[in-house]
A and B are shown apart, each in its own frame.
Chain A
Amino acid sequence: MTQVAARGARTPDGAGAAQAADAAHAVPDRQAHPALALQTQGLSKRFGDQFAVDSLDLAVPRGAVYGFLGPNGSGKTTTIRMVLGLVTPTSGSRTLLGLPMPDRATEVLHRVGALVEGPAFHPYLSGRANLRRLDAADLLSDARSAPSRVDAALDRVGLLAAAGKKYRAYSLGMRQRLAIAASLLAPRDLLVLDEPTNGLDPQGTREVRSLIGSLASDGTTVFVSSHLLTEVEQICSHLGVMREGRLVAQGSVKEVRGTGAATLTLRTAQPQEAVRVLEGLGVSEVTAHGDLVRGLPGSLEAERIVATLVRAEVGVKGFSVDSPSLEDLFVSLTGEGFDVSR
């Protein structure tokens, strides 16, 4: 759980990457950890000669709200499909609620609610009829309580009034809500929600966030993927960040935040002097723009830096050492801009 892996860029040539992956897969399997609601070990999926997911070691503790972040195309949905047994991994293993997938799928998936890559329902059935069909497919669900459970799930996502409408008449936001309702048909120990706020307006996004919060406070583990940090950062206790099929950071929000380097900002009338003093202290990447000097202090204490500056008769107008915002960290881990990963 405490592992925070900030891995470097991928090996540039494909053969090297494959070798590195094979080496990772050679690590003997550790035992499934019962305290983890979701765990993958060396999970990889190769399409052709490209790794969509590359030796992924996810660890989602029970009771966590785990934000699974990464740009579009970074392998999040493929990972979710493998975890749920829809796609067979090229190598590696995965467990859900301590039970190996897909061998124990029929037992464990009943306790797992899933939303995978957007809603999908029969267009000419009503929302309610669609949920009844999914419930009918579940051998472990009780037929007698089906109508009340279906309506309770619809009510929970605010869709009860439109329950009798044909699915084809639903707006994108209503479709998304119906998919979330489907994941709530039975009491769940784990919810796997792939981009649950897609297509929702700000109000709907807020509702989904508070819904996740209330489910988590009931003890349900929530694994929620998103390509937008802002959608999930307020509700998550843990984060995992994907980039090009690899996990580049994982841990509690505090741990992940701690991996980013703090930056020093100094306002002074003597920037040249300041740069010299700071470099002398061991501050790296010192740059000056006008009266602003920036650098990476590493483990140096702020008090000591200021004292040294003052002793060197560098006037300090303003001084701060800031940990990066989660957003800056996210951008630095996953790259900036609108480009999909590949």
Chain B
Amino acid sequence: MSAADVTTPSRRDGVPRPRRALPSTRLLRSELRLIGGRRRNQAGLAVLAVVPVIMAVAVKLSDPTPAGDGPDFFSSITANGLFVPLAALSVEIAMFLPLAMSMLAGDSIAGEANIGTLRYLLTVPVHRTRLLAVKYFSLCLGAIWGVCAVAIPGAVVGVALFGTGPMVTLSGDQIGFASALWRVVLVMLYLSAGLAALGAVGLFISTLTEQPIAAAIALMIFTIVSWIADSVPQLGWLHPWLVVDHWLAFGDLLRNPMAWGNVVQGLLVDGGYAAVFCLAAWARFSAKDITS
């Protein structure tokens, strides 16, 4: 046997060269169908969507009739239905949306390892780096999905119940409906970025275990501990580094003009988390023995 035999085995055995691998979105689409088709995830989306509806109906039912002569701040807020998605997002970003990310992140690698499908994906073959990339990209889309599940039903119900009047900004002046809608979209994108950063942490945790529930709980604990640390003044030095710290800065997008400082800082922290934890997930997963 000569060296040439070794270097040209496919010519020697007469097997035609395989087709060139082309970039394809088939696996990503399959992944999204898998996430979206799962009953548990559909139920989770329904729960996310119910919160703004409950809030809108409750506010509508308790809507006080203006009393006295002074301007009523509350009734001026409720002149524009878009306060509903914003209020719902500020409520759900604390726990519900991170919980949704936890479930998806737990499923991503640990879930596949748990039922054994991971070994079959890898022998298809799917390169481990590609698998992580697809999994993380679908987690990012999952974050947008979750935020939309809160904001879109909230906006629809809000507009239906409260109309499309001028919106009062946090600076006290009023903006028109179109401008308000644009602000809501920006808030949605900003919060999605925060959740995607959290998803990177979840992806890393998911490579550490074969138990999806354990991975989901671990990410939830990470979120809760971050919120607690964020509320302890003595840990002030740590606050800028917490992924949750800048999430509520989305309020700055509702000022007139918009205040970008905290938002940009928040996006930088999000990007840092995503980069560090995706790298950690890659370092862990690319050399891991798949024994499940």
Contact = CB atoms under 8 A, between A and B. Distances in A.
A81 B291 contact: yes
B123 A106 contact: no
B116 A118 contact: yes
Contacts of B5: 34
A111 B9 contact: no
B15 A34 contact: no
Contacts of B126: 137-138
Given A34-B6, A122-B34, A189-B15, A84 B115 contact: no
A85 B125 CA distance: 10
A125 interface: yes
A31 interface: yes
Interface in A79-130: 81, 84-88, 97-99, 105-107, 109-112, 114, 116-125
Given A62-B13, A98-B6, A132-B30, A81 B290 contact: yes
A31 B6 CA distance: 8
Interface stretch (B20-28, B77-85, B138-146): B20-28
B124 interface: yes
Contacts of A142: 19
A160 interface: no
Interface residues of A, number: 44
Contacts of B290: 81, 86-87
Contacts of A81: 119, 289-291
Nearest to B121: A137
A124 B120 CA distance: 17
Contacts of A114: 120, 123
B18 interface: yes
A124 B26 contact: no
A182 B24 contact: no
Interface in B123-137: 123-127
A20 interface: no
Given A110-B18, A120-B115, A32 B6 contact: yes
B1 interface: yes
Contacts of B6: 31-32, 34, 98
B287 interface: yes
Contact of B289 (A87, A98, A110, A120): A87
Nearest to A112: B123
Contacts of A136: 26-27, 29-30
A206 interface: no
Contact of B21 (A34, A132, A140): A140
A143 B19 CA distance: 13
A33 interface: yes
B124 A137 contact: yes
Contacts of A97: 9, 13, 15
A156 interface: no
Contacts of A112: 123
Interface string B181-217: 0000000000000000000000000000000000000
B115 A34 contact: no
- Name the residue among B3, B13, B29 with the largest chain A CB count within 10 angstroms: B13
- Name the residue among A33, A138, A143 with the largest chain B CB count within 10 angstroms: A138
A139 interface: yes
Contacts of A111: 15, 18
B256 interface: no
17 contacts: A32-B6, A34-B5, A62-B13, A85-B125, A86-B123, A98-B13, A99-B9, A106-B125, A107-B18, A111-B15, A118-B116, A120-B115, A122-B117, A139-B21, A139-B24, A140-B18, A140-B21
Interface of B: 1, 3, 5-6, 9, 12-13, 15, 18-19, 21-22, 24, 26-27, 29-30, 34, 37-39, 115-117, 119-127, 287, 289-291
Task: Name the 7 nearest CB pairs between A and B, nearest first.
Answer: A120-B116, A98-B9, A109-B125, A136-B26, A139-B21, A136-B30, A86-B290
